[in-house]
C-alpha cells in the first residue's frame, strides 16, 4: 500500500476510537460506564426535529448554495448578535458540516507549507492534525493547571515568530473547561495588536455552557481591529444536542470566507439541506431548553468535582464551562510508573470505565472525563476509578 505522506501523518481521533471501543464492549453486554463522550447525553429538542421533518415533507431535499442557505446565515447573524454581541453580514458567514469542518476550511485557506499555528495545550485533539493536513506546523504552548490552563500573554508573545499566521483559542475549552474573562482576553489582545498579520481562530462551540455565573465574552467583541482578523467558530452540536446533524459555522473577514466557500464548494458542497433547516429552528426558536440543560451540566460538574476530590492523589481543577473535567493523576501514576494512555486503557479493560488519556490533549498524567452522563454513572464511574487505584 502506498499511502500519501499526508495520510501517513494522521492517526484516527482517539476520542472517537475510545468511545467506539466502549460502545462495542457495551454491545457485548459488558457493564461499561462511559465518561469519554464528546457529546451531550440529551436528545435533540422536538421543535428542531419537527423543522427537519417539515423540510423533508416540503421537498427541501436538493443541493443548496455551497456556503449554506441565506435563511441559516441570517439565523447565525441573529444568534451571534444575541449571544456574543457581534454584528456580521451574510458575506461574513460560512455554514459548514460541523464546527470541525469550519476550522478545517479556515486552516486550508490560511496555512501554507511551513506556516506556524499556535495552539495552547491542553488542546482539542483535532487542532494539530488539521494544521498538519494544511501543510502547517503546530506550535504547542504549554499552560499551567495552577493558572486554570490559561494561555499567558507573555507565553503567547514568546511563541510568535515571523512564520506565525494563526493562533487558536478555545474557551470554554475541551478538555479542561478553561475560561477566559474579558480581562484575560484584553491582555491577550494587547499582545496580538503588536502582530497585525496574525489571525485568530476563536472556537466558541461551548460558549453557552458557562458556569459560576460567568459571562461569556467573544474575543472578537474587543475591538473592530481584532474582529477583522478573528474567525468566530460555533455550531449547533453541543448547545442543541445536534452532534449527528453536522452543522457548524464561522464568521470572519469576507475575502477569506469567500476563499473558504470555494474550498468547500470543491470538496463537500453544501451541508445537508434538511439539517440546515433544523439549525435555523435551533438558533431562532425558544432557548429555554439550552438554559435548563446548562444548569443540569453545572450540577453534574459540581458532583464529579466533589467525587474526584475524595480520591487521594487526584488534583481537581474545577472546569468553568463545557462538559469535561481534566484532573491530574500525576502523584498516583508517577509512583507506579504509569502514563495516562496505559492508565486509561486499563481503566476501560479492567474497571470498565471509558475515559480519554491526557496525552492525547498534549498533557501527560491527566485524564479527560466527560460529565455528559447521568448522576448515577458519574458516581459509579468515579467509584470504580477509586477502587481501581486502591488496587494498583
- Closer of 321 and 327 to ligand PLP (Cβ): 321
Residue in 88, 104, 124, 216 binding ligand PLP, rule: CB under 6 A: 124
**62, 264 in Cβ contact below 8 A?**
no
Q: How far is the CB of 238 from ligand PLP (least distance, A)?
A: 7
Alpha carbon distance 243, 203 (integer Å)? 16
Cα–Cα distance list, 348 to 14, 25, 130, 345, 354 (Å):
14, 9, 28, 5, 5
Residue in 181, 221, 243, 287 binding ligand PLP, rule: CB under 6 A: 243
Decide: is 100 part of the binding site for ligand PLP (CB under 6 A). yes
Decide: is 128 part of the binding site for ligand PLP (CB under 6 A). no
Q: Interaction with ligand PLP in 183-222: which residues (CB under 6 A)?
A: 203, 205
- Closer of 237 and 389 to ligand PLP (Cβ): 237
Residue in 68, 128, 235, 321 binding ligand PLP, rule: CB under 6 A: 235
Decide: is 328 part of the binding site for ligand PLP (CB under 6 A). no
Residue in 248, 319, 357, 362 binding ligand PLP, rule: CB under 6 A: 248
Decide: is 38 part of the binding site for ligand PLP (CB under 6 A). yes
**64, 273 in Cβ contact below 8 A?**
yes
- Closer of 304 and 311 to ligand PLP (Cβ): 304
Which residue sits closest to ligand PLP, CB atoms considered?
Answer: 98
* Segments in the chain forming alpha helices (H): 5-8, 14-27, 46-57, 70-84, 99-110, 127-133, 153-159, 182-192, 224-227, 254-265, 273-284, 288-308, 330-335, 340-351, 375-391
Exposed e or buried b for every residue in 336-347, given b needs 16+ CB within 10 A? eebebeebbeeb
- Closer of 233 and 314 to ligand PLP (Cβ): 233
Q: What is the DSSP-derived secondary structure letter of residue 160?
A: -
Alpha carbon distance 333, 314 (integer Å)? 10
- Closer of 248 and 381 to ligand PLP (Cβ): 248
Residue in 98, 122, 357, 362 binding ligand PLP, rule: CB under 6 A: 98
Decide: is 99 part of the binding site for ligand PLP (CB under 6 A). yes
Q: Check whether the bond before 51 is cis (ω within 30° of 0).
A: no
Binning the chain into helix, strand and coil, the percentages to the nearest 5 are 45, 15, 40
Alpha carbon distance 84, 207 (integer Å)? 9
**16, 363 in Cβ contact below 8 A?**
no
Tell me the number of residues near ligand PLP by CB under 6 A: 13
Stretch that binds ligand PLP, among 49-57, 95-103, 192-200, 309-317 (CB under 6 A): 95-103
Decide: is 40 part of the binding site for ligand PLP (CB under 6 A). no
- Closer of 55 and 275 to ligand PLP (Cβ): 275
Stretch that binds ligand PLP, among 96-104, 214-222, 271-279, 301-309 (CB under 6 A): 96-104
- Closer of 172 and 381 to ligand PLP (Cβ): 172
Q: Which residues bind ligand PLP (CB under 6 A)?
A: 38, 98-100, 124, 170, 174, 203, 205, 235, 237, 243, 248
Amino acid at each position: 500500500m502506498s499511502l500519501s505522506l499526508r495520510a501517513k501523518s494522521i492517526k484516527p481521533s482517539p476520542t472517537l476510537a475510545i468511545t467506539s471501543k466502549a460502545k462495542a464492549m457495551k454491545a457485548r453486554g459488558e457493564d461499561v460506564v462511559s465518561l469519554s463522550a464528546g457529546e451531550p447525553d440529551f436528545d435533540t429538542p422536538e421543535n428542531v426535529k419537527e423543522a427537519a421533518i417539515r423540510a423533508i415533507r416540503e421537498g427541501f431535499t436538493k443541493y443548496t448554495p455551497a456556503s449554506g442557505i441565506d435563511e441559516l446565515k441570517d439565523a447565525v447573524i441573529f444568534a451571534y448578535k444575541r449571544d456574543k454581541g457581534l454584528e456580521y453580514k451574510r458575506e461574513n458567514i460560512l455554514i459548514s458540516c460541523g464546527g470541525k469542518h469550519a476550522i478545517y476550511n479556515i486552516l486550508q485557506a490560511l496555512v501554507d507549507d511551513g506556516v506556524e499555528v499556535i495552539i495552547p495545550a491542553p488542546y482539542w485533539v483535532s487542532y494539530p492534525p488539521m494544521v498538519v493536513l494544511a501543510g502547517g506546523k503546530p506550535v504547542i504552548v504549554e499552560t499551567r493547571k495552577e493558572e486554570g490552563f490559561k494561555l499567558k500573554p507573555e507565553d503567547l508573545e514568546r511563541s510568535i515568530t515571523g512564520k506565525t499566521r494563526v493562533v487558536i483559542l478555545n474557551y470554554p475549552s475541551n478538555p479542561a473547561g478553561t475560561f477566559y474573562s474579558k480581562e484575560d482576553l484584553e491582555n491577550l489582545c494587547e499582545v496580538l495588536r503588536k502582530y497585525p498579520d496574525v489571525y485568530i481562530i476563536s472556537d466558541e462551540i461551548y460558549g453557552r455552557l458557562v458556569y459560576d455565573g460567568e459571562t461569556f465574552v467573544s474575543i472578537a467583541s474587543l475591538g473592530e481591529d481584532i474582529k477583522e482578523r478573528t474567525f468566530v467558530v460555533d455550531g449547533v452540536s453541543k448547545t442543541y444536542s445536534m452532534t449527528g446533524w453536522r452543522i457548524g459555522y464561522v464568521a470572519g473577514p469576507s475575502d477569506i470566507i469567500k476563499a473558504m466557500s470555494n474550498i468547500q464548494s470543491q470538496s463537500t458542497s453544501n451541508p445537508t439541506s434538511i439539517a440546515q433547516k433544523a439549525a435555523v429552528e435551533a438558533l431562532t426558536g425558544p432557548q429555554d431548553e439550552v438554559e435548563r440543560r446548562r444548569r443540569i451540566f453545572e450540577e453534574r460538574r459540581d458532583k464529579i468535582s466533589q467525587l474526584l476530590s475524595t480520591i487521594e492523589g487526584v488534583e481537581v481543577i474545577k472546569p468553568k464551562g463545557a462538559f469535561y473535567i481534566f484532573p491530574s493523576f500525576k502523584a498516583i501514576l508517577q509512583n507506579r510508573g504509569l502514563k495516562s494512555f496505559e492508565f486509561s486503557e486499563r481503566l476501560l479493560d479492567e474497571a470498565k470505565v471509558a475515559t480519554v488519556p491526557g496525552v492525547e490533549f498534549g498533557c501527560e498524567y491527566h485524564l479527560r472525563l466527560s460529565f455528559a452522563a447521568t448522576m448515577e454513572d458519574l458516581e459509579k464511574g468515579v467509584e470504580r476509578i477509586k477502587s481501581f487505584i486502591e488496587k494498583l
